[in-house]
């Protein structure tokens, strides 16, 4: 059985066709996210193993809400580019429609990757990842982030658990449950971005932009070196304190006017030398990390700029030129 949902979402392209989820058999629960459960599943026809994200969405007399349709259409549109650092969306299926609860179950079928970056780091034997491997992984992560941002999509929940690592060492951005096409004055809900990877502007309740993903990239880069989170806060206030212990307390003139916290309530701290926290960090790597962890999002480096930073270019890593949809993006630089 197929279900056709037209272009009521206001997005270009043909109507979206949803198949029945009976084509897939659930094998095991992989994880639970803010917006749904992810299963390891099997395609009954091909026997291929996939990741199946089960999402319940509101259902009205008019059908699936426009916002949900836009989200799904965005996922399908991005998948046409076959970017090597973005997890592939293979299929979309519909499940039961609960009229009593006004909800419809959707199943997003993704390629299955055995481990995420958090598991990858846990399994890595001492003394940890070689600096060259960290550099390659960060280049791949930033390549995926640059691809999203170039299509006006902010991931909004970048963390090791949402980065998949294939057996061949390819890193793929996953879990776009919180992704959203961005405008110029977005405000975050409380569930967005796991606390340890949350940028200062989010913690202070300010409007945000794609720069919040770059802050998360900085946190992840530090974690690759340390094999432990850089800012493991246990509350929003503690999170800010831990951030300022490393990047330093902002000057009064740098403090945003609309912040939920007064600058006068802060304790002054000078910035800590990053190399003292990560002895294996090279000079170009330290410079890039500082630019990723800028307090002011306007001063934070862009993903496209980061890919051209000497930290990568001196190692021969050069960003690939964008390719038209459907042609893929070529092999990942190594």
**Which sequence positions are flagged as catalytic?**
157
CA dist list (Å): 76 to 108, 138, 229: 10, 25, 33
Query: Nearest-CA neighbor of 91 among 180, 182, 20?
Result: 20
Strand ranges (DSSP E) for the chain? 2-5, 16-20, 24-32, 37-43, 49-58, 89-98, 103-111, 115-116, 153-154, 163-165, 171-173, 180-181
Query: Nearest-CA neighbor of 120 among 133, 108, 131?
Result: 133
Cβ atoms within 10 Å, residue 312:
23
Q: Is 119 exposed, middle or buried (0-12, 13-18, 19+ CB in 10 A)?
A: middle
| Whole-number Å distance between alpha carbons of 286 and 299 | 16
Give helix 131-150 / helix 211-226 axis angle, nearest 10°: 170
| Whole-number Å distance between alpha carbons of 216 and 157 | 8
């Amino acid at each position: 059985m197929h279900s056709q949902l037209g272009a009521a979402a206001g997005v270009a392209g043909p109507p979206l066709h949803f198949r029945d989820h009976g084509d897939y058999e659930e094998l095991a629960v992989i994880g639970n996210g803010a917006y749904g459960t992810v299963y390891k599943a099997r395609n009954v026809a091909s026997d291929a193993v996939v990741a199946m994200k089960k999402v319940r969405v509101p259902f009205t007399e008019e059908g699936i809400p426009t916002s949900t349709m836009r989200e799904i259409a965005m996922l399908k549109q991005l998948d046409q580019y076959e970017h090597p650092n973005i997890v592939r969306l293979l299929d979309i299926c519909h499940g039961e429609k609960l009229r009593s609860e006004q909800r419809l179950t959707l199943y997003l079928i993704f390629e299955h990757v055995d481990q995420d970056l958090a598991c990858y780091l846990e399994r890595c034997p001492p003394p940890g990842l070689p600096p060259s491997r960290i550099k390659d992984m960060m280049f791949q992560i930033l390549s995926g982030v640059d691809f999203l941002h170039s299509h006006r999509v902010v991931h909004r929940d970048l963390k090791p658990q949402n980065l998949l690592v294939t057996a061949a060492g390819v890193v793929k951005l996953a879990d776009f449950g919180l992704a959203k096409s961005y405008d110029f004055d977005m405000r975050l809900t409380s569930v967005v971005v796991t606390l340890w990877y949350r940028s200062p502007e989010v913690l202070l309740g300010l409007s945000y932009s794609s720069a919040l993903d770059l802050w998360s990239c900085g946190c992840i880069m530090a974690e690759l070196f340390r094999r432990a989170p850089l800012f493991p806060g246990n509350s929003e206030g503690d999170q800010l304190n831990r951030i300022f212990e490393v990047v330093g307390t902002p000057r009064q003139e740098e403090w945003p006017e609309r912040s939920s916290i007064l600058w006068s309530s802060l304790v002054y701290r000078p910035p800590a030398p990053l190399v003292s926290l990560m002895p294996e960090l090279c000079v170009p790597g330290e410079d890039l990390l500082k630019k990723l962890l800028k307090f002011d999002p306007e001063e934070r480096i862009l993903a496209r700029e980061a890919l051209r930073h000497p930290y990568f270019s001196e190692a021969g890593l050069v960003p690939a030129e964008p390719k038209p949809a459907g042609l893929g993006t070529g092999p990942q630089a190594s």
